[in-house]
Structure 1
Amino acid sequence: MKRAENLVRLEHVQSISTSNINYLVYFSFHRELKKAIKCYAKGRLLDIGCGNKPYEIWCSEFVAEYVGCDIIQSSANKVDVLSPANSIPLESSSFDTVLSTQVIEHVEDHQGLVNEAYRLLRKDGYFILSGPLYWNLHEEPYDFFRFTKYGFNHVLEKAGFEVCEVNANGGAWATLGQVINHTFDFKNPKASKMVRGLKYIFRKLRLFIVVNKLFSYLDVKDYNTINTMNYVVVARKI
Structure 2
Amino acid sequence: MDTSLREINVQRLSSIDVSKDNLYYLHYKSYHYDLFESIEKYAKGNLLDIGCGNKPYEKKISKVVSKYVGCDIVQSNLNKVDVICSADAIPLDDNSFDTIISTQTIEHVGNYQGLVDEAFRILKPGGYFILSGPFNWQLHEEPYDFFRFSKHGFKLILEKSGFELIDLKENGGMWSVAGQYLLMNITNDHTGRKRSVRFFFKVFKFFKGVNLINRFFSYLDNTDYNNINTINYVVIARK
TM-score interval (norm. to shorter): over 0.9
SS in 1 for 2:66: strand
RMSD over aligned CA atoms reads 1.2
| Aligned equivalent of 1:234 | 236
| Aligned equivalent of 1:136 | 138
Partner deviation per Cα, 1:66-94 (whole Å, 9 max, x = no partner): 00100001111111111000000100000
How far did 1:195 drift?
3.2
| Aligned equivalent of 1:113 | 115
The answer (yes or no) to whether the contact 1:156–1:162 under 8 Å persists in 2 is yes
Stretches (4+) displaced over 6 A: none
Instruction: Give aligned pairs, total.
Output: 236
Aligned counterparts, 1:112-191, within 5 A: 112-191=114-193
SS in 2 for 1:63: coil
SS in 2 for 1:115: helix
Residue 4 of structure 1, aligned match among 2, 7, 20:
7
| Aligned equivalent of 2:220 | 218
Aligned counterparts, 1:70-109, within 5 A: 70-109=72-111
- CA separation in 2, counterparts of 1:38 and 1:72? 28
Change (3 A) 1:11 1:188: closer
SS in 2 for 1:113: helix
Query: Which residue identity is paired with 2:87?
Result: A
SS in 2 for 1:21: coil
Residue 62 of structure 2, aligned match among 60, 63, 72:
60
The answer (yes or no) to whether the contact 1:184–1:202 under 8 Å persists in 2 is no
Query: Which residue identity is paired with 1:100?
Result: S
Q: Percent identity?
A: 53
Query: Which residue identity is paired with 1:12?
Result: S
Residue 32 of structure 1, aligned match among 18, 24, 34:
34
- CA separation in 1, counterparts of 2:200 and 2:9? 35
How far did 1:193 drift?
4.5
Query: Which residue identity is paired with 1:7?
Result: V
- Could you tell me the TM-score, scaled by structure 2's length? 0.95
How far did 1:197 drift?
3.7
Query: Which residue identity is paired with 1:73?
Result: Q
Query: Once structures 1 and 2 are overlaid, which stretch shifts more, 204-213 or 143-152?
Result: 204-213
- CA separation in 1, counterparts of 2:168 and 2:176? 18
SS in 2 for 1:96: strand
SS in 2 for 1:88: coil
- CA separation in 2, counterparts of 1:9 and 1:192? 29
Partner deviation per Cα, 1:164-195 (whole Å, 9 max, x = no partner): 11100000001100011101111134234443
Where in structure 2 are there 5+ consecutive unaligned residues? Answer: none
Where in structure 1 are there 5+ consecutive unaligned residues? Answer: none
- CA separation in 2, counterparts of 1:147 and 1:120? 23
- CA separation in 2, counterparts of 1:230 and 1:35? 15
- CA separation in 2, counterparts of 1:80 and 1:190? 40
